[in-house]
Amino acid sequence: MTAENIKAEILRLTREYSKLTHKAQRAGDDPSQAEFVVGETTVPYAGRVFDEDEVEAAVSSTLDFWLTLGKEGEAMQEELAQFMGVKHTLLVNSGSSANLVAFSALTTHKLPEHKRIKRGDEVITVAAGFPTTVAPIIQCGAVPVFIDAKVSTGNANCSLLEKAYIPEKTKAVMMAHALGNPFELVTVLEFCKKYDLWLIEDNCDALGCTYSLPLEKAKELGLDHLIKLSSKEGRNEEFPRIKNNTLTAYTGTFGDISTQSFYPPHHLTMGEGGSVNIIRRASLKTYAESFRDWGRDCWCPSGQDNTCCKRFQWQLGELPEGYDHKYIYSHIGYNVKPLDIQAAIGRVQIKRLPKFIEMRKINWQRLRKGLTTLENHIEFALPTHATKWNEDGSFEWDESGCRTDCSWFGFKMTIKDEAPFTRTELAAHLDECKIGNRMLFGGNLVRQPAFVQLRYDDEKAMRVATELPQADRIMNNTFFLGTYPGLSEDMIDYMIKVICDFVALRVSES
């Protein structure tokens, strides 16, 4: 029996094994998904969604035993960049590492002095969110400057950006698109253009979200890369596109650099993993790649030598002329690459992305319609620029001419102050009923122990530019449920029933 035949038999058995053992991880509309039993089956807030294709890809890559990032990684980087519409994508081992590498790339000495982020420079961010959106700012010696959020969207209140700005100190804006809801990109882009600031989009919760703005505004903001790409012949991707004098593109493609997470709760998974997306400035790829790969100056892929044809002809730093370029380090870097096995899984997941994105939207709408009678007690999320949700699933919009189409990471709810129950009481009840739920990550980050200690150790290490009442309200009253593609209709209906019954009981007792 040949090695090829043995491998084929292993992969055949792998698929059979996966079909028998991974039924709970199949998509919610898959008839092969494990049966949902009320009171017994846990309804997660998020999780891996896969079938035998991913398992086969992982086992096949393992049998090849290249292990470190190789041909699968190269292919996934190209496929993800093509899907999003960015110049380059670099895979890393987590979304947190992606944020660290992306931010570090903007600190390189190879940038013009006025653009380089140095120690003590300030970066504007939002107080409500996940800590590793902010951590790289501190880890690189810069100063995070916090502004308040909006409860309705979970994103920054971008009208406060000017209050946070200090000439010659502010160098960048770094924020996340919260729970798959884009922040006000048009406002942030106007602000960054006005003051020549970097924009780092943390897109970890928002793969597949789109943002639309008037074409004339897009031209004014210098989004030429998206306008040009939308008219490129032979493109198979849906976005970016121009229709009715409106430009629509994926989030993570508007700023200078963006990040993704491929942790299991996210839109696609590699187990652990993430990526840095180089949106328009090709040189940032070289800087980000250096920080990702030990800080080295060489760009040769692992296992390849002398792609520059000058391996022994460089003289950099105080090294002797001819020192091996593979061991020259221009940055204080990291080693945060994923495995090629993970990329093999990710490549299969990319093929599922359009379906996953649509299922997240459908699941959000099913929850929103099922809970509409609770509006007196619960404030439900709205997409950025929306002013109202309608029972047919449509939205009413503000006068900006901008729209958002959310690939929801979660279904956000904020308990109103006058409600006869608290967020914690409802969340605990859901937990008892085996319905997964989560807070909006760190709530008001400046109240987290790590940031309290940071301020105690050095009062200049961070700055709070505005009052933070809405971030506090998110901290005290907000939580979210799942919208991920593994939820079946029965699971969602159960979630709706449990919440409605809980509220009805508390109202009757009040």
Which residues have a catalytic role annotated? Answer: 266
Strands 478-482 and 438-439: antiparallel
Q: Do 189 and 197 meet the contact criterion of CB atoms below 8 Å apart?
A: no
Cα separation, 141 vs 437, whole angstroms: 34
**Residues, the chain, total?**
510
- Check whether the bond before 144 is cis (ω within 30° of 0): no
Q: Which helix (H) or strand (E) holds 354?
A: helix 340-370
Buried-state track 394-408, b at ≥16 Cβ within 10 A, e below 16? eeeeeeebbbbbbbb
Cα separation, 465 vs 484, whole angstroms: 35
> Which residue carries 């409860």 as its tokens?
151
Sign of CA dihedral 260, 262, 265, 266: positive
Q: Which helix (H) or strand (E) holds 170?
A: strand 170-176
CA neighbor of 413 nearest in space, from 446, 367, 447: 367
Buried-state track 110-133, b at ≥16 Cβ within 10 A, e below 16? ebeeeeebeeebbbbbbbbbbebb
Cα separation, 402 vs 397, whole angstroms: 8
DSSP code string of 81-110: HHHHT-SEEEEES-HHHHHHHHHHHTT-TT
Phi–psi pair at 128, nearest 5 degrees: -95, 125
CA neighbor of 44 nearest in space, from 311, 342, 433, 405: 433
HEC string of 66-79 equals CCECCHHHHHHHHH
Residues near 450 by beta carbon (within 8 Å), at least 6 away in sequence = 131
Residues near 424 by beta carbon (within 8 Å), at least 6 away in sequence = none
DSSP code string of 303-353: T---TTS-TT----TTSPTT--GGG-B-S---B---BHHHHHHHHHHHHHH
Cα separation, 257 vs 428, whole angstroms: 39
Cα separation, 174 vs 126, whole angstroms: 8
The DSSP symbol for 459 reads T
